[in-house]
Chains A and B, each alone.
Chain A
């Protein structure tokens, strides 16, 4: 058990290293010269050379990578070109709204998707099952920003139930925080809900066809207990896996959703960095999101041991 955890943790290191190399190379091996685009159209070649030197872009690639990865190991993601502040500090300032939005989305989604999936599997071919499968195809296909604008149009503009845009930190009142985040969380949860409900349905329905379900039923256990203790418990591994994989979708969705609802989080920071061609900031955010994604999936893998005692690597 202990060795399994150690081994699994160590095995993420090569992935993290390759991710770091890819992100590093992406910014160095591009046809455009970052220094030139930073100077703009009015810069002289001397200006460009100065900037190249100050960013260390004039040194050979391996030297650049060595210096950059030493910094990275110290937790230093460099400094933003324009805001002249450490990237880690900028990420720290903007992470609050993004975390609020992501947690609320995950909370709502899991609370809805798992019971819906279980019920659909239980009444296989019933109306809820067919509705859910139809919804999941539609949910995958409608882009989150289209859903976002539809919700704003109907709920915020026509019915005037919730605020149109903006963000209120939770410290300034729970009600304001929740009312500003309800529509964004709903928008973001559609695709995630489609994914998790679909996998829950498939995996519970597979478990329901097993012999032990018939045994449990013939023992006279209540149907609810059969579904939760027997079917869902045995279907848990694929569900937890897809919750982890879905975080990738969630990260992409956060960037779009925060733009639609004008939430000052990491997603907006990303868009600002990209539009301003702020390369260290782009690099830092991409690395940060990728590392979070890898770590969440590490946690998911480790949870297998708890969820399914048969699994020993």
Chain B
């Protein structure tokens, strides 16, 4: 994820065609308040996820039934099932099995962020391939876009749930199940960019000079697609984090013993009336993460790709 900001800085400045030379693009991006706010909160969350083991956490799967359902802010003796015993301060309390909620949230952040980034990368790669095929090779266009329309006709959460019902739940299957329904949106965006760029005079010139198709795609089409794809990528990332949590919450995501925000909420669900904190704390983190990614995306859209909305992405 730290590569996101780096990749914006290294993005070719001619990605946004502007007749007037203004401040360098990366400067404009970093001066945008949405980018600063969203990116700042997201960076904090990433640091939290990476350094989870040093943030006053204990083993997120360690249980101690005798210290179950502690209220937030209690200090208690924690007796590990393997016989260790130590004092621990439970900032956010424990769940019914005596697992430390804060530890589970901190380690769960890794899953959420990893799934978000992985889905965004996979969906962009696959969507780019499909979109270029449809946009550049007109004979494939009709059939490919029909299939994409049909995939979009299946509500995406339902699609992911169905796939997860069929597959063994691992990190890979979760990522793939969330990626597939996202592909058509990226493909449509790429196709529309390809269609508009291939009419440009310089592409026609390149074709008449006998430039190989692959070279045209890499040299002319791809640089024009980077900015809108980056914007679309952040939105895909936000929705992937949401869908992952929903899958876990419904019980079809990663196995329940792995700490993910959705799993923590699913565990706390049965006792919500007495101990709402086990559901509310991960919920707040989830909402905060998705919100910061979306705000970052809005900032990137405004600075990198002002035409985004009109393009129907």
Residue of B nearest to A273 (CB): B165
Q: Chain B, 293-313, contact with A by CB distance < 8 Å: what is the 0/1 string?
A: 011001000000000010000
**Interface flags, A22-42, vs B, CB<8A=1, else 0:** 110011001110100000000
Determine the distance from Cα of A184 to Cα of B158 in the docked complex, in whole angstroms: 19
Minimum CB–CB distance from B192 to chain A (whole Å) comes to: 17
Cβ–Cβ contact A143 & B291, under 8 A? no
Best-surrounded residue of B153, B159, B290 (most CB of chain A within 10 A):
B153
What separation, in Å, do the CA atoms of A157 and B272 have in the docked complex?
10
Asked if A282 and B276 make an inter-chain contact with CB atoms under 8 angstroms apart, the answer reads no
How many angstroms between the C-alpha atoms of A164 and B274 in the bound complex?
13
Q: How far in angstroms is the closest Cβ of chain B from A199? A: 10
CB <8 Å contact, B147 and A18: yes
Closest A residue by C-beta to B295: A137
Which of the residues B161, B168, B294, B298 comes within 8 Å of A255, measured between beta carbons? B161
| Cβ-defined contact, A282 with B154, below 8 A | no
Could you tell me if B166 and A32 are in contact, using CB atoms closer than 8 angstroms?
yes
Cross-chain contact A137 with B291 (CB below 8 angstroms): yes
Q: Is A252 an interface residue (CB 8 A)?
A: yes
Q: Which of B156, B159, B165, B167 has the most CB of A within 10 A?
A: B165
A31's nearest neighbour on chain B, judged by CB, is B167
Stretch in B94-102, B208-216, B244-252 touching the partner: B244-252
The 8 Å CB contact of B158, one of A27, A142, A286, is A286
Q: Which of B268-288 contact A (CB under 8 A)?
A: 272-273, 276, 279-280, 283-284, 286-287
B43 to chain A, nearest CB (A): 17
From known contacts A271-B251, A275-B252, infer whether A145 and B291 are also in contact, taking CB-CB under 8 Å: no
Any B CB within 8 A of the CB of A19: yes
- How far is A294 from B273 in the complex, measured between Cα atoms in Å? 39
A149 to B250 alpha-carbon distance, docked (Å)? 14
B158–A23 contact, CB under 8 A?
Answer: no
B155 touches A282 (CB 8 A): no
| Residue B16, interface by CB 8 Å | no
A251 touching B298, Cβ below 8 Å: no
Question: Which B residues lie within 8 Å of A65 (CB)?
Answer: none
State whether A274 and B276 are in contact (beta carbons under 8 Å apart), knowing that A15-B150, A142-B290 are contacts in the complex. Answer: no
Q: How far apart sit A277 and B19, CA to CA, in the bound complex (Å)?
A: 58
- Give A264 to B224 CA distance when docked, in angstroms: 49
Nearest CB of A to B100, in Å: 21
Residues of B within 8 A of A142 (CB): 287, 290-291
- Expressed in whole angstroms, the minimum distance between the Cβ of A36 and any Cβ of chain B is 12
Complex CA gap A226/B69 in Å reads: 59
Q: Is the CB of A157 within 8 A of B146?
A: no
**Cβ contact within 8 Å between B283 and A138:** no
A145 touches B283 (CB 8 A): yes
Contacts of A23 in B (CB 8 A): 154, 162
Contact present for B162 and A248 (CB under 8 Å): no
- Which residues from B are CB-within-8-Å of A202? 309
Count contacts between A and B, CB distance < 8 Å: 132
List the B side residues contacting A251 at CB < 8 Å.
Answer: 155, 157-158
With contact pairs A22-B154, A252-B155, A255-B157 given, residues A30 and B166 touching in the complex (Cβ less than 8 Å): yes
Q: Are A293 and B166 in contact (CB under 8 A)?
A: no
Residues of B within 8 A of A4 (CB): none
Kindly provide the distance from the CB of B264 to the nearest chain A CB, expressed in whole angstroms: 12
Nearest chain B residue, comparing its CB with the CB of A156: B273
A259 interfacial by beta-carbon distance below 8 Å: yes
Contact with B157, one of A164, A252, A279 (Cβ below 8 angstroms): A252
Task: Let me know if A141 and B290 touch, CB within 8 A.
Answer: yes
Asked whether any CB of chain A lies closer than 8 Å to the CB of B15, the reply is no
Which residue of A141, A152, A164, A286 contacts B154 across the interface (Cβ within 8 Å)? A286
A114 at interface by CB-CB < 8 Å: no
A115-151 contacts to B, CB under 8 A, are 137-138, 140-143, 145-146, 149-150
Task: Give the shortest distance, in Å, between A260 (CB) and chain B (any CB).
Answer: 8
Does chain A have a CB within 8 A of B59?
Answer: no
- Are A143 and B252 closer than 8 Å at their CB atoms? no
Whether B153 lies near A290 (C-beta < 8 A) is yes
- A289 contacts chain B at the CB level, 8 A cutoff: yes
User: In the assembly, what is the distance between CA of A152 and CA of B272, in Å?
Assistant: 9
Task: Check B151 for interface membership: any CB of A closer than 8 A.
Answer: yes
Asked if B265 is at the interface of the complex by the 8 Å CB criterion, the answer is: yes
Contact digits for A272-293, partner B, Cβ 8 Å, 1 yes 0 no: 0111010100110110011001
From A22, A164, A270, B161 is in contact (CB under 8 Å) with A270
**Which residues from chain B contact A259 at a C-beta distance below 8 Å?**
249-250
Contacts A137-B294, A149-B276 given; indicate if A14 touches B155 (C-beta within 8 A): no
Q: With A15-B146, A143-B242, A149-B280 in contact, do A274 and B155 touch (Cβ < 8 Å)?
A: no
Give 19 pairs: A residue, B residue, CB < 8 Å, sorted on A: A23-B162, A34-B166, A137-B298, A142-B290, A142-B291, A143-B286, A149-B265, A149-B279, A255-B158, A256-B249, A259-B249, A270-B161, A275-B251, A275-B252, A290-B153, A290-B154, A290-B155, A293-B155, A294-B153
Give me the 10 closest cross-chain CB pairs, A-B, nearest first: A252-B157, A18-B150, A146-B283, A141-B291, A30-B166, A274-B165, A141-B290, A251-B155, A142-B287, A290-B154
Known: A15-B153, A30-B167, A279-B165. 18 other contacts (CB 8 A): A15-B150, A18-B147, A22-B151, A27-B166, A141-B294, A142-B287, A143-B283, A143-B290, A145-B249, A146-B283, A149-B276, A153-B276, A202-B309, A252-B155, A255-B161, A256-B250, A259-B249, A279-B166
User: A-contacting residues of B (Cβ < 8 Å)?
Assistant: 146-147, 149-151, 153-159, 161-168, 238, 242, 245-246, 249-252, 265, 272-273, 276, 279-280, 283-284, 286-287, 290-291, 294-295, 298, 309
